[in-house]
Structures are given as structure tokens and as C-alpha cells.
Structure 1
Amino acid sequence: MNIGILGVGSVFGAYMRGLRAVAGLPVLRLASRDPERARAAAEAAGVPRWGGLDDFCADDDVELVVNLTPPAAHAGTTLRLLEAGKHVFVEKPFAPDVAAAQRIIDAAASADRLLGCAPDVFLGPAGQTARAALDAGMIGRPFAATSFVRSSRVETWHPDPAGYFGPLGGPVLDWGPYHVALLVNLLGPVRSVMAAGVRARDEVAVSAPGRTGDVVPVAVDTHVSAVLEFPGPCLVTAMYSFDVWETTLPHLEIYGTEGTLRLPDPTRLHGTVEFRARGADAWTALPAVMPRLLRGELREFRGLGVAEMAGRLAGGGEHRTDAALGLHVLDVLTALGECSMDSGSRKIRSTVARPAAMELE
């Protein structure tokens, strides 16, 4: 299946590594708002075709497009690609709101096109090792968890960090999708949420190379505390922050009646999952399971969800990062952003089936 990539920004290289080295999928065309930037990226990566969005839509050889445009452009470009007859895998967040996401899903159904959404990191060894441990009953019945995001310090390294502090930015929509998608994979769909947010700063000084001295305004809550209710019931205490720089808190822990699982950074495919039984004196590192979808080199990369889509289109099989999961994650995260200390608990209207565990080697 011929793949195209729309957008050649910071995550582009990770997708190229994954699609080529791991999934073995040919990338036929790159596109960008700046066609010259697409040309330079294509020449560096050995991709034969480049151009803009119009070129993509007119290229009948490109079957599946990976949409890596900025968040504000996700909805419009995805709709345009679907209208052109392309299958689409879009980076998170899926759309600016649930209503827009549903319109995209309806458009995909009308066009009989497959639609997927990042993040797909939970398909990797760390996420699937934790899933296997839970499915085996290692910690008994899960009843609680913690989910913590500290600042990515984006203002120190990104050449244009303004979007991270705008309406479709902030820690909830930037890092939250990784945590919530992983938690849905482990625990099932979110039933309700409570949350409140604050902004520690009104503006952020940018110290990225070449940008020192610039200041960007903060237009979104940059520190959000929340409680998410999962089936069980299982209560997840979440804290997603761009303002906490130093901490000793773990990324994610799951507490069960028989023990605890400690998980690595949910934005990464690899990392050690640890288990500690009740009454045990130490943590035990669990052997990493290896999903059968993986092959080739095992550095950090992106694209397992795209590989599943290609497999589904070629001959069937699971599609775990489908649009239903993307919409549910977006529903949860937008609810977190809309809650306050006075609003109380909020039911999540959407639901989704817990993704099936990966087939392992």
C-alpha cells in the first residue's frame, strides 16, 4: 500500500522510521504547506514525490495519508483527503471538538474510507506488557491509578512553541491523549470525569535555539488536576501540567487488590514495566512482550497504527487506533478542559470497546 505523509514537522522523522523500518510500508509522497520544505524533506528521505495538499489529492497512487499537520488543521485537511478518496490516519488531537470529530467520522463512512487516529504508542512493547499483566490478573482487580504529566519544556527546544499554549494546546490535549488512550487500552472506556485547571503563567519566555527572548501568550490552562472514572469502578487521579518541571512522581501506576503496576512514559513505545505484589519487599521488572506487528529495528518511532490500518485494508484484522477510539479520547480530554471546581462530575457521552490485546510473538 502506498503511503503519503502530509506535514514534515517535528514528528515526521519518527513516522518515517516506523513506516519504513518496522512496518515495511513504502512512502510515495510528502506534502507541506510549504512545498519547498516538502521537497527538501523528500530529497533527504529518498521519497520520490512532493508538493502541497492539492498534489496529494490528485495523486491516485497514494492510498493512505498520514496527516501530521498542526492540530488546528487536522479537521479541514482530513475532510479534504477523505473527499479525495484517501484513507487517513491523523495525529492527535483528532479534531477541535467532538462535533467536528463526528463530522469527520460521518464523512469517512460516506466515502467508504478507513479512518484512524493517534496515539498508537500503546500498541508497543511497554503498553502491551502492562496489558498482558492486567489480563493475567497479576495485580488482582484494578481499583485505582495515577496518571501524571510534567512539563515537556517545549519552550526550550521547539522552534515555534506558540501552538502548545493556544486553544488546541496545553498539557491535556498535547500529552493527555497518550495517557488516556493507554488507560482505555488497560481499563476500558471512561465513564465520567471531574477536573479543574489553572494557569501558572500568563506568558512564556521562549529559549529554544534561535528564539531566545521571544514571548508567547498562554491561552489555555497549563495545569489540570482530574479524577477519571473507569469500569470496575476504577478511579484514576490525573495531573497534567506544563508548569511542573521537577518531580519524583511516576508517569503512571495502576493499583490492584493484589499489587501494583508501574508503567514508563506513555509517549514512548519502550520502557520497563514493574510489578510489586502486596507485601513484597521490592519491585520486579516484567519481561517485555513483543507484539507480532513489530519487525526490524526497535528504536522509538511512530506508525504502528498506520501499519494496522494497512493490514486491515489489505486483508482484514484488528484496527485498534480507529476513529471511535480517537473520538472517545477527545471527548474525555475536552471534558477535562471544560470542567471547573463548581461543575462537579461530568458523564462522558461517547464510549468505545476496549481494544483487543495485540497478538504476541
Structure 2
Amino acid sequence: MTPVGIGIIGCGNISAAYLKAARNFPVLDIRALADRRLEAAEARGAEFGIPAVSVEALLADPTIEIVLNLTIPAAHVEVGLQILAAGKHAYSEKPLGIDFADATRLTEEAKRRGLRLGSAPDTFLGGAHQAARAFLDQGHLGQPIGGSAFFLCPGHERWHPDPAFYYKAGGGPMLDMGPYYITDLVNLLGPVARVAGLSPEPRRQRTITSQPRNGELIDVEVPTHVAGALQFQNGAVVTMAMSFDVAGHKHLPLEVYGTDGSLIVPDPNHFGGDLSFLPKGGEWRSLAVEEPYADGNYRSLGLADMAAALRQGRPHRAHGDLALHVLEVMEAFGRSNETGRFVEIDTRPERPAPLAADPALSGL
């Protein structure tokens, strides 16, 4: 398979993870890096041996077919539209955008131009989550009834060197961590039909305790504790809570319940982990994970699948309609909190196909 030329816009912390993981996928030929701060692109380029160029030069490069958008969430739609206008396929870091209406413009523009749009997270393609998907599809849980999804922590100002953006528009626990959980739940259960949510704002200011800004106050502009329920098209109801206000908890990240048993799914922010199954009337037992991409950090897997799909003429799995659906669901928590009503979800994406052991994605 002929490799696909890749350009990257945005050379912050997450770019290193993508560049390391991309080495596992021969279908990805990363040809150039760009950033609004050229020195950031040059530093990352020197680290990985990839040329650093201006954003304009990268978008004009005819050898680049897909552009990976690793800018900050607030810039995802604007940069995505620039990529599409240059006639290139776009793959975005999560979330697809910070506003559903704006992100809809992005998906519509991609379709209008006949270009592909993809988006993280791609952790649902990891071996552990694909094994969970296969187990569910084989009917071992019976009829899906519900589940639970929890990410609860005290906040990122404890460790992040510059945490203010987590508390501004585009931040908060739902947009930061929700994409991992909701995307994996759609992978497991299919699309969401409606949402009920509550989103209190306990604190208007927070104190940074990390270095180098220890002691500084930051304003909180977004809800930092979001809870509620998702009802899926198949009828299953999943309880969900995302928080930057909780000292600690004992909930497991993700569980799915059915008429015939319960399944513990690993942390959806990772590709691997342990699966456990409790059959009705039985005992908990571990499930073997034989699917690939469960033994490391493969952030680039969704991009590699999109590149292979481009060559093979098939749909890619981490697609824009899926990411738009997840964004609509996340936004619905706030709308439900404001109105005191269920919010019906209008988007109905195709459930991503299971990830087969595709030789185009191997090379490990």
C-alpha cells in the first residue's frame, strides 16, 4: 500500500505522542510540521527528524493528503476549515469543536468538498475496547440494560504547568474527558437518543498549585462537575459523571450491564487494560484480550485507519459524524441543566465497524 502523506498543524504536548505512535504504521508518511509559533514546530521537528514549515507552506504542499489538526480545541473548527479549503482531508484531535453548530459547519464542508473528516479519540480502536465490543456483539450480556461512566478528580491545576485553559470555553471535564467515554459507549452500544444532565459550578476561581504558576488564581468559566444519564437508541441507560471537583472515588471508569451479565471495560483513555465479566448467577472472571493495539499508546491509530481507508476506498472508523454526535451529546448536558428537560439528540452516526487485523495498520 502506498503511504499517505501527512502534515501536522499544532506542535504542543500531544504531538509527541502522535509522532511516536505513528512509527508503528507504515501507511503514515509524515512529511512536515507546522505551528503558529514556528519555533515550536522547529523544536518538535528536530526531535523527530521532520521538516518544520509555515502553516501556509504545509497546506500548499501537494504531497500532503491528510492534515492532522493538533491545535487547541477552540481552534479546531477554524483550522479544520482551512485544511478543507486547501483540498486536503482533515483529522482533528478531540473534541471536533467546542460548539455543535460550528462543528456542524465543518462536517458539512467536508461532505460538500468530497473530503474525509476524522477525529480523535481513537482509543475505542484499542484491543481491550475492541474485545469488549466483540463480547457484546456476540450476545454474552444478553439485552443491554445500562451502565456507568465516571471520571472524577480534583482538577488539573495540581499538576499542569499552565492549566487555565481547562477552565475556559472549550475546557471543563466534559469536553476534556467526555469524548473518550462517550465515543467508547457509542462503539459498544450505538448512538445516543437523549440526555438528562445537571452541571453545577461549585467554584468561580481556583488556585494553581503546580509550578511555575503556583499560587495564581484562575477564573472558572465552565461547569466543573457534570452528571446525568444517557439513553441510547437500543434503550440502555448509562449513568455518567465527569468532575474536576472530587477528591477521589471508588467507581470503575466504565461498566456495561445486560440481562445476562455485567462487563467491566478498561479506562477509555487507554488502548489496553483488563476486561472482567460477571455472568448472571456466576462469579467474576477475566476475559482474554487477543485483539491488537492493547499493549501501548497508539495515538495515531485512528489517523492510520483513515489513511488506509483512503487507499482501500472504504469508510474510516473515527469519522467526523461520530465526533459530531459525541459533541452534540456533551453539549446536551448543559442544555438539559438549563431547561430542566431531556434533550433529544438529532445526529445518528453509523456505529464504527469493528477493527479487523488489517495488515495496512500493522508493522509492529
**Which category describes the TM-score, using the shorter chain as reference length?**
over 0.9
The CA distance in 2 between the partners of 1:253 and 1:314, in whole Å, is 36
Q: Does the 8 A contact of 1:254 with 1:261 survive in 2? A: yes
Q: Residue 26 of structure 1 aligns to a residue in which SS?
A: strand
**Deviation larger for 57-66 or 18-27:** 18-27
Is contact 1:23-1:303 (8 Å) kept?
A: no
Residue 310 (structure 1) aligns with = 307
Displacement of 1:120 in angstroms is: 0.9
Rounded to whole Å, the distance in 2 between the matches of 1:350 and 1:331 is 8
* Deviation sequence 1:283-326 (CA, Å, 0-9, x none): 211111314xx5xx942130111011101111223411111101
Task: Check conservation: 1:251, 1:265, Cα contact below 8 A.
Answer: yes
Q: The residue matched to 2:227 in structure 1 has which SS? A: strand
* Aligned CA-pair RMSD: 1.7
Q: 1:321 aligns with which of 312, 315, 318?
A: 318
The residue aligned with 1:259 is: 261
For residue 227 of structure 1, report the CA deviation from its aligned partner: 0.8
Counterpart selection for 1:176 from 172, 178, 181: 178
Aligned residue in 2 for 1:7: 10
Which of 228, 238, 241 aligns to 1:239? It is: 241
Quick check: 1:166–1:218 contact (8 Å CA) kept in 2? yes
Partner in structure 1 of residue 157 of structure 2:
155
5+ residue gaps, structure 1, are: none
State the distance in 2 between where 1:359 and 1:301 align: 16
Contact 2:173 2:242 (8 Å CA) reproduced: yes
Q: Which amino acid aligns with 1:121?
A: T
| More displaced 10-residue stretch of structure 1: 150-159 or 192-201 | 150-159
For residues 119-165 of structure 1, give each alpha carbon's deviation from its aligned partner in whole angstroms, at most 9, with x where no partner exists: 11101111101101101111111101001111274212222211111
Structure 2 matches for 1:58-77, cutoff 5 A? 58-77=60-79
Q: In 1, Cα distance between the equivalents of 2:357 and 2:108? A: 33
Counterpart of 2:108?
Answer: 106
Query: Letter of the aligned partner of 2:219 in structure 1?
Result: P
Aligned residues: 355
How far the C-alpha of 1:232 sits from its partner, in A, is 2.7
Q: Percent identity?
A: 39
Deviation at 1:194, TM superposition (A): 0.5
User: Aligned ranges for residues 191-206 of structure 1 at < 5 Å?
Assistant: 191-206=193-208
Give the Cα separation in 2 of the matches to 1:110 and 1:139.
41
User: 2:285 — aligned with what?
Assistant: 284
Q: Provide the TM-score with structure 2 as the length reference.
A: 0.93
Which stretches in structure 2 are left out of the alignment for 5+ residues?
359-364
TM-score, reference length from structure 1: 0.94
Residue 96 of structure 1 deviates from its aligned partner by: 2.5
Matching residue of 1:18: 21
Residue 179 of structure 1: how far off its partner (Å): 0.6
Work out whether 1:46 is the aligned partner of 2:49: yes
Offset of residue 241 of structure 1: 0.7
Cα contact 2:16–2:44 (8 A) shared by 1: no
Which residue of structure 1 lines up, in the alignment, with residue 298 of structure 2?
Answer: 301
Q: Residue 362 of structure 2 aligns with which residue?
A: none
**Structure 1 stretch 154-163 or stretch 268-277: which is displaced more?**
154-163
**Distance in 1, Cα, partners of 2:25 & 2:286:** 25
